[in-house]
Amino acid sequence: MQRTFIMVKPDGVKRGLIGEIVNRFERKGFTLLNAELMTIERVKAEEHYLEHQDKPFFGELVDFITSGPVFAMVWEGENIIEVSRLMIGKTSPSEAVPGTIRGDFANTKAENVIHGSDSLISAEREIANFFDILSIRSNDNQYGERKSS
């Protein structure tokens, strides 16, 4: 079983798309291991988009992802990274096929509703960047909630 990091971006949260996106992953048979509504600090956003730091749009990307709350999630399932990338669709809404998340909901290339890990290495890095690894699913604690002492 693979794990991946999926994040509903500020535009998706603002437009009330969290439930629709979660439903699509659940209907595909994937398991939600952890989820949290959060506001990303600039330093964490810069770490998240490190591979884009030398590109001209880096600052704009960081500004956008820190502009409002995001809904960060860890999902598990067979071949989930490849399948989730197909479900998400192309980065640009003009290239995203209808029926994909971006094809149905993205407005611009920058405000494209969702982020998903593109490889096992990215998934591991992004999950570790946004979640305490120990809080992610034990067999008796499916959703990673913390138990009080």
Residues belonging to the active site? 115
Euclidean distance between CA atoms 111 and 11, whole angstroms? 6
Residues near 78 by Cβ (< 8 Å), separated by ≥ 6? Answer: 1, 2
Euclidean distance between CA atoms 142 and 31, whole angstroms? 9
DSSP-H helix ranges across the chain:
10-14, 18-27, 42-48, 58-65, 80-88, 101-105, 120-130
